[in-house]
Amino acid sequence: MSELVELSQGERDALEKLEERQRPVRRGAVLQRENEPCNELFILRKGLMMSYVLLADGSRQILRFLFPGDMLGVSSAVYQEAPETLAALSDCVVSPFDRAALAEIMREHPRLSALILVYCQIERVALTDRLAALGRTSAKARVAALLLELRNRLRTTNKSIANAFALGLTQEEIGDATGLTAVHVNRMLRQLEEDGLITRESGRVTLLDERALGHAANYVNRYKGLDLSWLPPPRS
Amino acid sequence: MSELVELSQGERDALEKLEERQRPVRRGAVLQRENEPCNELFILRKGLMMSYVLLADGSRQILRFLFPGDMLGVSSAVYQEAPETLAALSDCVVSPFDRAALAEIMREHPRLSALILVYCQIERVALTDRLAALGRTSAKARVAALLLELRNRLRTTNKSIANAFALGLTQEEIGDATGLTAVHVNRMLRQLEEDGLITRESGRVTLLDERALGHAANYVNRYKGLDLSWLPPPRS
DNA sequence: CGTCTGCTTGAGCCTTGTCAAGAAACGTGG
DNA sequence: CCACGTTTCTTGACAAGGCTCAAGCAGACG
């Protein structure tokens, strides 16, 4: 959050309290399972996670990829049973905290409350971008958008990433995120390669023509263009 | 909001302040346009609205239908430019208010802040349901889900609605919401009718077999099953 | 009464899914 | 460090769900 505004000491203390505890999570492990009661929220400290739902026919829709700094399980905190599963795509570290800690922030730190709302809205807009992609764009555009989003989010934690990165996802997972089959994802990656937009070698992807990719994908970086001038002042 | 918890006098006053002003909106009118700056939020008092985005090729994705009581434009308040368009599907009445009023609620009313977060999460989960529908379910299931969602949301404002209702949408609009073409929406409606799940006459739809529809559509009512026990106490 | 928007239906096509099989990469235990 | 099993990737052939185009029809509205 400190990337958006200068935090006061009291605010920093409150956020650090959320991160008191740490818990390692193995690759493939499930932190929270759909339809099971859940009493914890988390902040992701290290690694890559995802949230997904399973449908009646066994197919999976990946809703979101989660990166260090993201707050996990907010929607589950609001329900008696989690609406989605949280699983680790790589070895991760999370900081669990309970609903009461969230309530305390809402009570004591109006500006942090507003910032949490801001993050929820960023996430919401990113979700609607993906909704529009699934509803109205081609398979190739969806895969391109996923690559761009992934690269941009990885870069916020690891500044050294430029145009090449290890995507850390199987083609099956890319398909479950974009609403495609793994086979078709493979074809789309090959086409993007043939079009000269990317290159690939053993799990690493290089974006060759970012502008053309962004255009093909209708991509907008939703972490830019924010307006935070209206936030209430920090209380302490 | 009073449907979720018993509000205190101070909270009621704060919410009524948001609804001080009223503005009529004609059917078809646009309240807020994508990529234009916006300084207002709204509460929808009467009528049916939608939010949508337009893609580069001119196609439209409807993100959400909006019903009386919904807060509109929260995501736009967070950005310098609105990420989506708000348009009226019927003659409507809205109550505009500005970002400062939102900031004041965050400052003075922790429990209302938490409730706003809860509503954002309900909306978020409804969006992820639709994401999963677009990514992983058939055209027929998506149309069925839309009908169910629409009926349930209409019923929260108009208790007299049972299984029959006027949907107030063109087939083109249904298509833009479900990621289908108007032509295919028509075919799916006819199939649902042939399957004995619904009947139609001149814009009115009757749900004949709600259970089977819900099953076909993978539908979950996200306004149920909430857990609000953790909310902070009202300050006044 | 004419126009316009929305609904309905058919024919044919295209994008994406399904199934299958082989190759490559990865992980694990010896 | 090797050998094996498993997962993942790759590619082809074929099927199907949904789209496009086109035309006729019905109802709303000036």
Given a cut of 90, is residue A216 above it in pLDDT? no
Mean per-residue pLDDT, B158-165: 86
Q: With CB atoms and an 8 Å threshold, state whether A227 touches B77.
A: yes
C-alpha to C-alpha distance for A133 and B179, rounded to whole angstroms: 9
- Written in H, E and C, the secondary structure of chain A is CCCCCCCCHHHHHHHHHHCCCCEEECCCCEEECCCCECCEEEEEEECCEEEEEECCCCCEEEEEEECCCCEECHHHHHECECCCEEEECCCEEEEEEEHHHHHHHHHHCHHHHHHHHHHHHHHHHHHHHHHHHHHHCCHHHHHHHHHHHHHHHHHHHCCCCCCEEECCCCHHHHHHHHCCCHHHHHHHHHHHHHCCCEEEECCEEEECCHHHHHHHHCCCCCCCCECCCCCCCCCC
Contacts of B61 in chain A (CB under 8 A): 131-132, 135-136
Distance B161 CA to D21 C1' (A): 39
- Determine, yes or no, domain membership for B123: no
The residue of chain A with its CA nearest to that of B99 is A230
Which of A35, A62, A81, A124 to mutate: most B Cβ within 10 Å? A124
On whether both A21 and A102 belong to a single domain, the answer is: yes
To the nearest whole Å, the CA of B16 is away from the closest chain A CA by: 20
Given a cut of 80, is residue A236 above it in pLDDT? no
CATH code of the domain in which B194 resides: 1.10.10.10
Of B121, B69, B79, B83, nearest to B99 (Cα)?
B79
To the nearest whole Å, the CA of A47 is away from the closest chain B CA by: 23
C-alpha to C-alpha distance for B104 and B82, rounded to whole angstroms: 22
Q: Could you read off the pLDDT of A59-77 as tens digits, one per residue?
A: 999 999 999 999 999 999 9
Mean per-residue pLDDT, B210-235: 92
Q: With CB atoms and an 8 Å threshold, state whether A232 touches B63.
A: no
Given a cut of 80, is residue A3 above it in pLDDT? no
pLDDT at B1: 65
To the nearest whole Å, the CA of A195 is away from the closest chain B CA by: 20
SS3 B52: strand
Q: With CB atoms and an 8 Å threshold, state whether B136 touches A55.
A: yes
CATH code of the domain in which A95 resides: 2.60.120.10
Contacts of A54 in chain B (CB under 8 A): none
Q: Could you read off the pLDDT of B56-97 as tens digits, one per residue?
A: 999 999 999 999 999 999 999 999 999 999 999 999 999 999
Domain final residue pick, B99, B128, B158: B99
**Could you give the number of structural domains in chain B?**
2
Q: Could you read off the pLDDT of A167-206 as tens digits, one per residue?
A: 899 999 999 999 999 999 999 999 999 999 999 987 899 9
On whether both A84 and A150 belong to a single domain, the answer is: no
- The C-alpha torsion from B128 through B132 and B138 to B144, rounded to 10°, is -30
Mean per-residue pLDDT, B214-235: 92
The residue of chain A with its CA nearest to that of B40 is A230
Q: With CB atoms and an 8 Å threshold, state whether A136 touches B61.
A: yes
Domain limits for position A55 = 16-107
pLDDT at A159: 84
pLDDT at B203: 83
Show which positions of strand C are touched by protein (CB under 7 A).
Answer: 5-11, 15-20, 25-26
- Determine, yes or no, domain membership for A233: no
Q: pLDDT tier at B199 (50, 70, 90 boundaries)? A: very high
Q: pLDDT tier at B202 (50, 70, 90 boundaries)? A: confident
Closest nucleotide to A193: CA versus each C1': D10
